[in-house]
Structure 1
Amino acid sequence: MGPISRAAAWSKRIPGGPDGRRMLWIALVDRTGSGLWAAVSVLYFTYVTGLSVAQVGTLAAVSGAIGIAGAPLGGRIADRLPLTRVLISLQILRALASLALLTTDNYALLLAFSAAGSFGDRAASVLTKLYATRVSGPDRVRYQAVTRTVANAGWALGGLSAAAALTIGTTTAYQWLLTGDALSFVAAALLTVRCAEPPSPARMIATSKDPAPATRPANPWRDRGYLAYVATETVLFLDDAVFKVGLPLWIAHSDQVPHGLAPLLMVLNNLMVVALQVPLARFGATTAAARSLLLPLSAAFALGGVALALSATGGAFTATLFLTTSAVAFTVAEMLHATVSWELSVALAPGTAQGAYLGVHGLAQSAQRSIGPLAVTAAIATGPLGWTAFGATIAVTCVFQHHLVRDQLSRAALSVPPVTVSEH
């Protein structure tokens, strides 16, 4: 079988049918554009718009805080309106927000446009997950793994393209990168137009003429068990801050390790996710299996913290060895948690309020973007003991979550949507 035949066969095995494959293209285009901008956003605001370090930090913090609202609001809206139309609107909002940044260097306007883009980004992320859940049905864990693989490839492609463009170093180069980011959202919106609208249990009940099933949908804000689960998720998402902030800062302040190791560890992280995310997903294909993965996940987090602590105890070779070990451990943790989080966040949500519940779950990752940098900088300031405590805290939270979801498995089994696009 040739490469084209193998690619075609692999494509047919993707859950969700044609719409599932279109969503993978959307993820690739979206993340490629995001990779272009994420790699240069700080540089753009510094060198093109002339913001100070304090202004850039405030802009990132405020826009991130406003973006937190995008997850729950987007999820709630998607339970009431056609999901594809909401997604298209959000992609257009993101495109307009990106293009608007090109039109001004006024700080207040830059803040407003960045906040609008952040809101659209968080809402679109939740709705994309909701769409994938509805079209992939019982194969949602495997589909999520494929999506993460494609998204990481897009991030890498965008980052490499940005790095190549930055060799020019002109204002025009920065502006074209931002334009490319905006165009990626336009392309994602156009691709979404071709996607069929998946069935929504909440909307089916809302439009039903039979008064019997017209009960009030569950409210995630009153579900203390789910809120406790989301709180633990915020802690488990801290691995993101390790690669974005923790490892680069730890290496930058080390006298033993070459600073060039930081980007190499990021490359290692991306390659591992692309190569291993799909194979690892098979170990969390059911709710019970996903819950069981929380125990090895706990061990991976603990190992990552200890290895980072030990990297400060030896010479250059020893430090490099332990830093690489830590990066591998945290990457394994990232992949296992992605599998666990996808399955449990959906399985613990009632089918009639999936959008609202997944929107609340999206708060965990949004909140981590604010909490994470503080947590890893505190670990760095404390030294080796701080990294050990950092890993141990997340490990203990994994064990707590393992016990937390145990009592909800009977409800979880009933929460999977009974109808999916693939069953039509």
Structure 2
Amino acid sequence: MLAIALVDRIGSGLWASVAVLYFIYVSELSMAQVGTLAAAAGAIGIAGAPMGGKLADRFPITRVLLTVQLIRAVASCALLTTDNYALLIAFSAVGGLGDRAASILTKLYATRVAGPERVRYQAFHRTVANAGWALGGLAAAAALSLGTTAAYQWLLAGDALSFVASALLTLRCGEPPSSSRTVTTSKHPAPTTRPTTPWRDRTYLAYVATETVLFLDDAVFKVGLPLWIAHESNAPNGLAPLLMVLNNVMVVALQVPLARFGTTTAAARNLLLPLSATFALGGTAMAFAATGGAVTATALLTAAAAAFTMAEMLHATISWELSVALAPETAQGTYLGVHGLAQSVQRTFGPLAVTAAIATGPAGWAAFGTVIALTCTIQHRLVRGRLTQFALSVPPVTVSEN
């Protein structure tokens, strides 16, 4: 699965870095149309996480992931066939659905394969994925130097081929045991009961709501830092891509070592307190970056980027553990699918939250960091008492998928 993550993210890096340019220069859309397309596709793609999780509780996860990868490949290829705006939205939405579903499926696969070592496994997975993104981005930058329509089209084709390759690699993965598809060893099977659903689990839904806020670090790097550098600080504009490089380097170097601090449920919950302080520090550094000269602003923005990257890594470690620990074993896929909504919703509304902070000025960034810090403490209290709810349950007998 780590090889799949690398191949998948190389392809995504090829496309994500040039998607806007492709739609403007190849499909000849206006900026307003591109923005609407991205928003519509993102909104529709939100459904991908719960759909993927629910399917994984009913069918072998490797087969579901194989199907999703092929759907993503078809969606990417379809973008090459038309400049029709409605079709571009439709194909982008299908790709978004597949992307969010694939993210949940790979997380669920790690949960089932790695068991108690799931946090460490996810750390390796994320490190490999970030390396793939970086390689794809570098390849895209080299291709864009050609400045031709064919270069954009080949990058999109490369994205599609990466999904095909991922699907082929998935065929070689063994099916992990699943507690959601069970058989009874009794001669008189127990009557079927309705499966547990996260939609009626108020604690889990509240947890997912707090997760939506904690995922806002993503919008900081994609929208917040570039706009703040360009419009409010005295730092050079060229600092923005360098801070993205800093983010990737830190994740590749530190994600695995940091994972050891959250390998148990109690340890993961305890990390919410230093995470709170880290978010507050990042917001404060962003606020003060607008008050100094070029050197001071550069130093403070670098500190802010490092703080938000540290927050990103800590939150990833916490989220991998708590999202599973709070879910019953017999409905992990469905629960993790609902948890995936947090990141999907953040991708839609996160840029709005960040631009609101920018519009308010330094005080907006201070408030931004404070709100996320308070959300960490709310989550710390929210999950208390639920973490051992399913620990004493007896694991059911699983069906062999061979």
Question: 1:337: Cα distance to partner?
Answer: 0.1
Which of these residues, 90, 97, 109, is aligned with residue 131 of structure 1? Answer: 109
Q: Which residue identity does 2:239 align to in structure 1?
A: L
- Where 2:235 maps in the other structure, the secondary structure is coil
Q: Which amino acid aligns with 2:145?
A: T
* Structure 2 partner of 1:312: 290
Q: Which residue of 2 aligns with 1:266?
A: 244
* 1:308-347 equivalent positions in 2, closer than 5 A: 308-347=286-325
Matched length? 400
The 3 A distance-change label for structure 1 pair 326 and 207 is: farther
Asked if structure 2 preserves the Cα contact closer than 8 Å seen for 1:304 and 1:391, the reply is yes
> In structure 2, what is the equivalent of residue 14 of structure 1?
none
Q: Which residue does 1:245 correspond to in 2?
A: 223
CA distance in 2, matches of 1:256, 1:208: 72
Of 42, 47, 52, 1:64 maps to 42
Could you tell me whether the CA contact under 8 Å between 2:56 and 2:64 is conserved in 1?
A: yes
Cα gap change, 1:56 to 1:419, in 2 (>3 Å): farther
Alignment partner of 1:365 is 2:353: no
Corresponding position: 1:47 with 2:25: yes
Q: Which among 1, 5, 11 is matched to residue 33 of structure 1?
A: 11
2:168 maps to 1:199: no
Alignment of 1:53-202 (within 5 A): 53-202=31-180
> Closer, same or farther in 2 for the Cα pair 1:282/1:417, shift >3 Å?
farther
Which of 370, 377, 392 is 1:392 aligned to? 370
Q: Could you tell me whether the CA contact under 8 Å between 1:134 and 1:420 is conserved in 2? A: no
| C-alpha separation in 2, matches of 1:107 and 1:417 | 50
Pair 202,249 (structure 1): closer, same or farther in 2 beyond 3 Å = same
Unpaired runs of 5+ in structure 2? none
Deviation at 1:331, TM superposition (A): 0.3
**Aligned 8 A contact 1:220 1:360 in 2:** yes
Structure 1 residues 334 and 213: alpha-carbon distance in aligned structure 2, compared to 1, 3 A threshold: farther
Shift, 1:74, TM fit: 1.0
Partners of 1:179 and 1:305 lie apart in 2 by 39
**Which amino acid letter does the alignment assign opposite residue 126 of structure 2?**
R
Provide closer, same or farther for how the CA distance between residues 52 and 419 of structure 1 changes in structure 2, counting only shifts above 3 A. farther
CA distance in 1, matches of 2:182, 2:359: 53
Counterparts of 1:206 and 1:191 in 2: how far apart (Å)? 33
Stretch moving more, 342-351 or 214-223: 214-223
* Aligned position for 1:5: none
TM superposition shift of 1:256: 1.2
1:82 offset after TM fit, Å?
1.1
Please, which of 309, 313, 334 is the counterpart of residue 356 of structure 1?
334
Amino acid in the other structure paired with 1:200: S
Aligned partners of 2:233 and 2:291 also within 8 Å: no
Distance 1:388-1:103 versus aligned 2 partners, 3 A rule: same
Q: Post-superposition shift, 1:208?
A: 8.6
1:151 & 1:343 partners in 2: Cα distance?
19
8 Å Cα contact 1:208/1:214 also seen in 2: no
TM-score, scaled to structure 1: 0.92
3-state SS of paired residue (1:203)? coil
State the shift of 1:254 in Å: 3.4
1:233 paired residue among 191, 211, 236: 211
Q: What secondary structure is seen at the aligned counterpart in 2 of 1:406?
A: coil
**What per-residue deviation string (whole Å, max 9, x for no partner) do you get for residues 314-348 of structure 1?**
11111111100000000000000000000000111
8 Å CA contact 2:262–2:268 kept in 1: the answer is yes
> Residue type of the partner of 1:89?
T
Question: Which residue of structure 1 lines up, in the alignment, with residue 280 of structure 2?
Answer: 302
Distance 1:175 1:121, change over 3 A: same
Distance in 1 between the 2:30 and 2:239 partners?
28
Contact residue 136 and residue 420 of structure 1 kept, 8 A: no
Equivalent position amino acid for 2:358 in 1: I
Q: CA deviation at 1:405?
A: 0.5
Letter in 2 for 1:260: G
C-alpha distance in structure 2 between counterparts of 1:361 and 1:97, whole Å? 25
**One-letter amino acid matched to 2:231:** H
8 Å CA contact 1:280–1:336 kept in 2: the answer is yes
User: Structure 2 vs 1, CA of residues 403 and 191 (structure 1 numbering), >3 Å: closer, same or farther?
Assistant: same
Unaligned runs of 5+ in 1: 1-22
1:416 and 1:385, CA in 2 relative to 1: closer, same or farther beyond 3 A?
farther
C-alpha deviation, 1:209, in angstroms: 7.1
Runs of 4+ that moved beyond 4 A: 205-210, 414-421
SS in structure 1 opposite 2:386?
helix
Distance of 1:117 and 1:207 partners within structure 2: 41
Cα distance change on mapping 1:130 and 1:416 into 2, 3 Å: farther
In structure 2, distance between residues paired with 1:237 and 1:42: 23
Amino acid at match of 2:78: A
Retained in 2: the 8 A contact 1:63–1:114? yes
